[in-house]
């Protein structure tokens, strides 16, 4: 089997799917890319059994066949080439691969393509179309809030709730929570599922610069994403997502409005002086003045800054983890933010003051930390 392909195009497609590859695979065949040649089309697959990603590109060939190619070796080789045509000669019986470039020849040993796990089949799935930029935004706005606790796998993904009215994405790790809603996307019937973090990260990286729609097909076991010349399938997280609505406080009489960038920069500077274990900062609001302070008693470090703000409510002092608060402010794209609070021991609600897109609604929640007075 023989084919000719552009080195740059091949590298680009391999890098797109290489995020699927795992460092501790249970099956050695998963350390390979599967190459499926069908005349002038090359289909490249990568899998870790939970997630599989397939992409296609044009090549010059008269042959058909499949071979598993060692992923690491091929990627490292391709990164060193300038753009040029590469000729792949493959011995289907012995799985020998010879690559011929302008510089010379390279031989490596592949594996039988038949050993590679088969791409799952879509069975009794529901379908939803979504603009690629909308999906990318939804992932960007929520994924950072998902958890890493292996004992609570349902919280390590993003919860998607679909209805005929809107589509809702929720992520939480019990310390912070993000709820992102789009009213310009809807499903025919109500359903919900939890997508793991790894396939979402792959989608986030791949959807950059993609125009057009993403087709999402889902059933109880898998979700399939199809866009451009790429197809990704992932196994959904099995389990019941926690009742996130119950966590969001409804009555928040203390409302603060402040310039987002000034507040974010202030938190970033002051948090340098906070305790390296707790990352605790203290926010004190009196009238229209807000002070942000932090101290690390072990090293006698401390810092405080004053900012002007608009505030309606009682004077208040509340502690937050600076990492969580900074992460949330960095993921908003507005000029001013509202921080709504009820008491120093209740969660704070962070929302943009002005909406750039009327179809978009975002709410972020951050749990306070106990202040040692």
List, for residues 117-147, the tens digit of each pLDDT value: 999 888 888 999 999 999 999 999 999 999 9
- Integer Cα distance of 258 and 260 in angstroms: 6
Structural domains present in the chain: 2-115 (3.10.150.10), 126-245 (3.10.150.10), 249-369 (3.10.150.10)
In the predicted model, residues of the chain with pLDDT beneath 70 are 373
CB-based contacts of 226, cutoff 8 Å, min separation 6: 214, 215, 217
> Edge-to-edge, what's the strand order for the sheet holding 157-162?
191-196, 157-162, 167-172, 176-182, 360-366, 348-352, 336-341, 254-259, 310-312
| Helix orientation angle between 197-206 and 132-142, rounded to the nearest 10 degrees | 130
- Integer Cα distance of 15 and 86 in angstroms: 17
- Integer Cα distance of 42 and 34 in angstroms: 10
**What DSSP state is assigned to residue 237?**
P
- For residue 208, the model assigns a pLDDT of 87
Comparing CA positions, the residue from 314, 311, 369, 366 lying closest to residue 338 is 311
- For residue 373, the model assigns a pLDDT of 61
- Integer Cα distance of 316 and 284 in angstroms: 6
- Integer Cα distance of 66 and 113 in angstroms: 5
Whether 46 contacts 35, CB under 8 Å: no
Comparing CA positions, the residue from 354, 373, 269, 342 lying closest to residue 365 is 342
Comparing CA positions, the residue from 364, 366, 368, 365 lying closest to residue 141 is 364
> Edge-to-edge, what's the strand order for the sheet holding 85-91?
2-6, 85-91, 96-100, 105-109
Q: Where in 261-344 does DSSP place strands (E)? A: 280-286, 289-296, 301-308, 310-312, 316-321, 336-341
Distance from chain centroid for Cα 296: 33
* Largest distance between two CA atoms of the chain: 79
Backbone angles phi, psi at 15, to 5 degrees: -65, -35
């Amino acid at each position: 089997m023989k084919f000719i392909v552009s080195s740059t195009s091949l590298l680009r497609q391999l890098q797109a799917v290489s995020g699927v590859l795992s460092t501790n695979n249970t099956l050695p065949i998963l350390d390979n890319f599967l190459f499926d040649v069908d005349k002038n089309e090359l289909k490249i697959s990568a899998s870790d059994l939970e997630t599989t990603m397939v992409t296609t590109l044009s090549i010059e060939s008269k042959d058909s066949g499949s071979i598993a190619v060692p992923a690491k070796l091929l990627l490292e080789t391709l990164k060193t080439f300038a753009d040029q045509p590469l000729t792949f000669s493959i011995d289907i019986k012995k799985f020998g691969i010879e690559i011929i470039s302008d510089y010379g020849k390279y031989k490596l040993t592949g594996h039988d393509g038949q050993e590679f796990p088969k791409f799952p089949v879509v069975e009794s799935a529901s379908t939803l179309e979504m603009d690629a930029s909308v999906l990318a935004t939804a992932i960007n706005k929520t994924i950072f809030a998902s958890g890493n606790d292996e004992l609570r796998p349902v919280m390590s993904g993003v919860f998607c709730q679909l209805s005929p009215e809107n589509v809702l994405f929720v992520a939480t790790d019990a310390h912070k929570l993000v709820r992102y809603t789009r009213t310009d996307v809807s499903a025919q019937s109500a359903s919900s599922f939890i997508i793991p973090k790894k396939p979402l990260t792959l989608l986030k990286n791949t959807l950059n610069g993609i125009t057009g729609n993403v087709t999402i097909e889902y059933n109880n076991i898998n979700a399939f994403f199809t866009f451009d010349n790429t197809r990704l399938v992932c196994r959904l997280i099995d389990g019941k997502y926690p009742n996130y609505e119950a966590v969001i406080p409804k009555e928040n009489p203390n409302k603060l409005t402040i310039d987002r960038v000034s507040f974010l920069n202030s938190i970033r500077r002051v948090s340098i002086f906070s305790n390296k274990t707790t990352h605790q900062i203290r926010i004190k609001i009196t009238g229209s003045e807000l002070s942000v302070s932090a101290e690390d008693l072990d090293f006698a470090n401390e810092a405080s800054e004053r900012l002007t703000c608009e505030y309606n409510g009682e004077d208040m002092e509340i502690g937050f983890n600076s990492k969580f608060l900074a992460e949330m402010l960095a993921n908003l794209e507005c000029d001013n933010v509202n921080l709504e609070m009820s008491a120093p021991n209740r969660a704070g609600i962070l929302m943009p003051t002005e909406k750039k897109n009327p179809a978009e609604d975002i709410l972020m929640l951050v749990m306070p930390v106990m202040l040692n007075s």
